[in-house]
Amino acid sequence: MSSLLLFEQVLNGLQLGVMLFLMAAGLTLIFGVMGLINLAHGSLYMVGAFAAAAVAAATGSFLLALAASLAAAAAAGAVIELGVIRRLYDRDHLDQVLATFALILIFSEGTRWIFGSFPLFLDVPDYLSGPVTLPGGIQYPLYRLVIILAGLVVAAGLFLLIGRTRIGIQIRAGEADREMIAALGIDITRLYTLVFALGAALAGLAGALVGAIQSVQVGMGEPVLILAFVVIVIGGIGSVKGAFIGALLVGLTDTLGRSFLPGLFGLFMEPAAATTVGSALASMAIYILMAGVLLFRPRGLFGVA
Amino acid sequence: MRERHINAILLGGLLLTALAAWGLDQPFTITLATKVAILALAGVGLNITLGLGGMISLGHAAFFGIGGYAMGILASHAQSYTPLMEAPFLIEGTKSMPVIWLVAVAASALAALVIGALSLRTTGAYFIMVTLAFGQMLYYFAISWPAYGGEDGLSIYVRNGFPGLNTLDPIQFFGLCFVLLCLVLLFVARFSRAPFGLALTAARQVPARVEAVGLSPYRLQLAAFVLSGAITGLAGALFADLNRFVSPAMFSWQTSGEIMVFVILGGVARLCGPVAGAALFILLEHWLGALSEFWHIYLGALLLIVVLFARGGLIGQIAAKEAAHD
Amino acid sequence: MTEPVLSVRGLGKSFGALKATDGVSLDLRPGEIHALIGPNGAGKSTLIGQIAGGIRPDRGEIRFAGRDVTGLGTAARARLGLGRTFQISALAMEHSVLQNVVLGALGARGRAMRFWRPVMGDAILVKAAEDALERVGLSDHAAMRTAELSHGQRRQLEVAVALALKPGAFLMDEPMAGLGAEGSLRMTAFLDGLRAEAPILLVEHDMDAVFALADRISVLVYGRIIATGTAEEIRASREVREAYLGEEDA
């Protein structure tokens, strides 16, 4: 186990973490402010990825593709908020789960109908590809570094938005007491649409960024959605800070687990068995982490709701 | 129409469909009816947690998959004549359905005990996410465990055996599944009216009161979750036998979602809701699926309409509003 | 002096800087109605929560039925015989009136993990429930769906469920809440007769009922008991008048 490999895997873990944060932040805000559990968030991730791939193929510009992902996901988010989601705010969680699950079906099959079953390709642009030499002599893909930075910038922006702006105050007030802010005369309908679209945009951006290093295909969003749920359970529903810390924890646990658990088991097991047991356990690592948090903090590390 | 009559019509209809198909020598239709019975059984399991207990479990595929893999593992060892384990004691495979069912039920119940004990420490949205996560965990585990097929799944070449029956004969296998379904429905109907059912449904509505009379909502819900998982696990074993194939897809979130969908479509908390829902689901899959390969869009739209406008599902639309049970 | 059925010693509970309960001691003697009064925000709900078992005190001791129950949860205390009614009716709305009371009887006998015989066919449980309903005057409504009851009837049902527990003491949180004049009179008469069976710790705002019923009154202000005594003593106490009742003509 070299420290170079360790550092590289830590960076990979951070990269996974910040992307999970983009998903989880939107989800946790939507739950905290509107009390809504949104299973369709993975679909918005997918919409962002597909929009980026389509625009990149048409124009050749990665920046335009990213802009398109934000716009398309936000627009899709606004549309479903207006059409479906706003009927769900007063409903119980079961109705919300079922309706947003129905949206997953519609989005997934709809995308497959438009784009077909084969994955699309979104390429990392030339000016962002290739390795970069980091202090210490490590070579690390520039693009992944860019993702980490982009994620951190978005995180900072989000914290500023929530902590320092009027919208942010409305969001925090809405999380604390939903009925009160209506009574205070704040336009909740507009606030809710805004929060939903913001969450959608974040998801779409994550989809586009990750789509360049993995493939863009139907169903890409749901595994990430479930990971984001794990993040929220660990971090606490309604807490963006919890989402950030939870996301980093999950990202690091998953990546480091996959890299090192097989090797760890190899210390006292024969290689074939070690790989099997190690990988199997690695695939369960974050859920075991979640279970651990549940044992001691059923409301998550920073749970508010 | 009284709910009891609807239940009789549903079950009778399913039986008649299978018998008619047998008489008309249409084995494919018998297989469809068998699929309805098995999926209904899975739904009956979920309904204990969801309808009676009021807990939204989005991870019931975990138990469906465990039941399926119980069958797959036991049968694959039997068909390759290798034991599962030699030390510390010998466990051989088996192709006997009763044994497989026992193992499937026990394994699912155990898993439900562990998952439930952890998940029931949370409520509301947390519970939904946690159960979903545990289902996904088992999905990834099944993919990464190569001994039993990994992502490709595991094929069982010959259907398992039941003493005295030729299980390869579609109508006989249907009969087995149908009888199991009816027995389980009977059991659920009984305990719904027993002290356990009263306490459980009270815990759903007003947990503070249940505590104030000296009962533990947590224990009640955990017991319900274990029963629920065990029944869904049994359905999983049957499903695997029907298809003679097990794969990680049995653990997927899509499977969890589908089971929940047809419980809802049929009418949540109604005894035979899952039967109606499964029948509707299979019919849609068969007919709409023939029209368009994107039939899931229509399923999604239907679900959306039901949720937004037609609560109570299919049975809810037809049954008379029940007075309080005596 | 007979040992009190329920006694609280030096109870304290803080939420951050807020001392919701600050060194509260009181007891409930056999056969008495002990009323707990105080202005809004005095900490009555927190105190009741600690006695019933949902809130864990930071310090102090609670004894019930001759045992230290401070570390026990709500369900355990209920099994020992602590019956309670809630300020906002906690009833299973989908169940019938009778079913709600049967739940109470079920809890009292601890027989919830039964899976085969119908609960409403259990003669012992149903009889106990019917008796309780008879006593609060709801027998005619036994088969009705609880959601269809009027508010006053639901308050009666609350009491019936607690009765079915055959408790050693009652904890009643504003049983008169929302009852009209006639309902209050009926409830007052009922509670009057109830005290012989089991003493009642009664939290109430309805002063007529309190002064009509209470053997003793404790006054809770800012988490502290500022006075305990008979109705006359409390009425005469200057501290109480200043803190709570306001100036009155003597």
> Distance of CA A263 to CAs A12, A233, A286, B39, B169, Å?
18, 29, 18, 42, 50
Q: What is the pLDDT of residue B321?
A: 52
Residue A134 lies in a domain: yes
Q: For residues B311 and B304, give the distance between their C-alpha atoms in angstroms, rounded to a whole number.
A: 10
Q: What is the pLDDT of residue B324?
A: 36
Nearest to C131 by CA among C176, C167, C155, C166: C166
H or E element that contains C101? helix C97-109
Residue A40 lies in a domain: yes
| Amino acid identity for residue A9 in this structure | Q
Specify the length of chain B in residues: 326
Condensed to tens digits (0 to 9), the pLDDT of residues B241-291 reads 999 999 999 999 999 999 999 899 888 878 999 999 999 999 999 988 888
- Select the highest-mean-pLDDT range: A67-81, A157-171, A266-280, C206-220: A67-81
Chain A contact residues (CB < 8 Å to B)? 31, 37, 84, 87, 93-95, 97-99, 101-106, 108-110, 112-113, 222-223, 226, 229-230, 232-233, 237, 276, 279-280, 282-284, 287, 290-291, 294-295, 298-300, 305
- pTM score, whole prediction: 0.92
Cis, peptide link before residue A119, omega less than 30° from 0 = no
Condensed to tens digits (0 to 9), the pLDDT of residues C43-82 reads 888 899 999 998 899 999 999 988 999 989 999 999 999 9
**How many Cα atoms sit within 13 Å of A30 on the Cβ side?**
33
Task: Map tokens 């059923």 to a residue.
Answer: A298
Chains A and C touch (3+ CB pairs under 8 A): no
Res. B87: pLDDT tops 80:
no
Return the number of other C-beta atoms located less than 10 Å from residue A153's C-beta: 11
Q: What is the pLDDT of residue C244?
A: 66
Give the distance, in angstroms, between the CA of residue B316 and the centroid of all CA atoms in the same chain: 21
Closest CA of chain A from B18, distance in Å: 31
Q: Give all strands (DSSP E) within A16-137, no chain letters.
A: 131-134
Q: What is the pLDDT of residue B231?
A: 98
Per DSSP, B250 falls in state G
Q: For residues C174 and A37, give the distance between their C-alpha atoms in angstroms, rounded to a whole number.
A: 36
Provide the domain limits for residue A128. 2-218
Residue A256 lies in a domain: no
Poorest-pLDDT segment among A4-13, A151-160, B171-180, B306-315: B306-315
Asked if A216 and A205 touch (Cβ cutoff 8 Å), the reply is: no
Q: Interior CA angle at C212 toward C210 and C213, to 5°?
A: 70
Condensed to tens digits (0 to 9), the pLDDT of residues C213-249 reads 899 999 988 888 888 989 888 888 888 878 765 544 4
In chain B, which residue's Cα lies nearest the Cα of C164?
A: B213
Res. B40: pLDDT tops 90:
yes
Two tokens, residue C133: 């309903």
Specify the length of chain C in residues: 250
Residue A284 lies in a domain: no
Q: For residues A37 and B260, give the distance between their C-alpha atoms in angstroms, rounded to a whole number.
A: 16
**Chains near C, with 3+ CB pairs < 8 A?**
B
Q: What is the pLDDT of residue B301?
A: 92
Query: Can you tell me the mean pLDDT for A78-101?
Result: 92
Cβ-count burial of B157 within 10 angstroms (0-12 exposed, 13-18 middle, 19+ buried)? exposed
The number of domains in chain A is 1
Give the distance, in angstroms, between the CA of residue A108 and the centroid of all CA atoms in the same chain: 18
| % of residues, chain A, pLDDT over 90 | 57
Residue A236 lies in a domain: no
Residues with Cβ within 8 Å of residue B4, at least 6 apart in sequence: none
- Dihedral angle at the C-alpha atoms of B189, B190, B194, B198, nearest 10 degrees? -10
Two tokens, residue C112: 């919830």
Mean pLDDT of the residues in chain B:
90
Query: B326 pLDDT band (50/70/90 cuts)?
Result: very low
Res. C144: pLDDT tops 70:
yes
Mean pLDDT of the residues in chain A:
89
Q: Are residues B208 and C90, on separate chains, in Cβ contact within 8 Å?
A: yes
> Distance of CA A72 to CAs A81, A112, A157, A161, B200, Å?
14, 17, 20, 22, 46
Q: Which residue has the higher pLDDT, A247 or A170?
A: A247
What totals of helices (H) and strands (E) does chain B contain, helices first? 13, 2
Query: Can you tell me the mean pLDDT for A59-73?
Result: 93
Res. B306: pLDDT tops 50:
yes
Task: Map tokens 């008649």 to a residue.
Answer: B16
Res. B148: pLDDT tops 50:
yes
ipTM: 0.90
Query: Can you tell me the mean pLDDT for B82-89?
Result: 77
Nearest to B213 by CA among A43, C99, A143: C99
Mean pLDDT of the residues in chain C:
88
Query: Can you tell me the mean pLDDT for A76-101?
Result: 92
Q: What is the pLDDT of residue B36?
A: 96
In chain C, which residue's Cα lies nearest the Cα of B202?
A: C92
What residue segments make up the domains of chain B, in order of their start? 3-325
> B3-325 adopts what CATH topology?
ABC transporter involved in vitamin B12 uptake, BtuC (1.10.3470)
Query: Can you tell me the mean pLDDT for B296-300?
Result: 90
Query: A102 pLDDT band (50/70/90 cuts)?
Result: very high
Dihedral of alpha carbons B48, B222, C114, C112, sign: negative
Condensed to tens digits (0 to 9), the pLDDT of residues B202-220 reads 999 999 999 999 999 999 9
Q: Residue B211: its chain C contacts at CB < 8 A? A: 53-54, 73-75, 78
Nearest to C97 by CA among C40, C50, C137, C44: C137
**CB-based contact, C52 to chain B, within 8 Å:** yes
Asked if B124 and A93 touch (Cβ cutoff 8 Å), the reply is: yes
Condensed to tens digits (0 to 9), the pLDDT of residues C72-130 reads 999 999 999 999 999 899 999 999 999 999 999 999 887 788 899 999 989 999 999 99
Q: What is the pLDDT of residue C178?
A: 83
| Amino acid identity for residue C197 in this structure | E
Residue A265 lies in a domain: no
Chain B contact residues (CB < 8 Å to A)? 50, 56, 58, 118-119, 121-122, 124-126, 128-130, 132-134, 136-137, 140-141, 143-147, 253, 257, 260-261, 264, 268, 294-297, 299-301, 303-304, 307-308, 311
| Amino acid identity for residue A137 in this structure | G
Res. B57: pLDDT tops 80:
yes
Contact map slice: B 204-223 vs C, CB within 8 A: 205-206, 208-216, 220, 223
Two tokens, residue A16: 């996974």
Res. A166: pLDDT tops 90:
no
Q: What is the pLDDT of residue C202?
A: 93
Domains in chain C, start-ordered, CATH in brackets? 1-81+167-250 (3.40.50.300), 91-166 (no CATH)
| Amino acid identity for residue C159 in this structure | V
Condensed to tens digits (0 to 9), the pLDDT of residues A107-120 reads 999 999 999 888 88
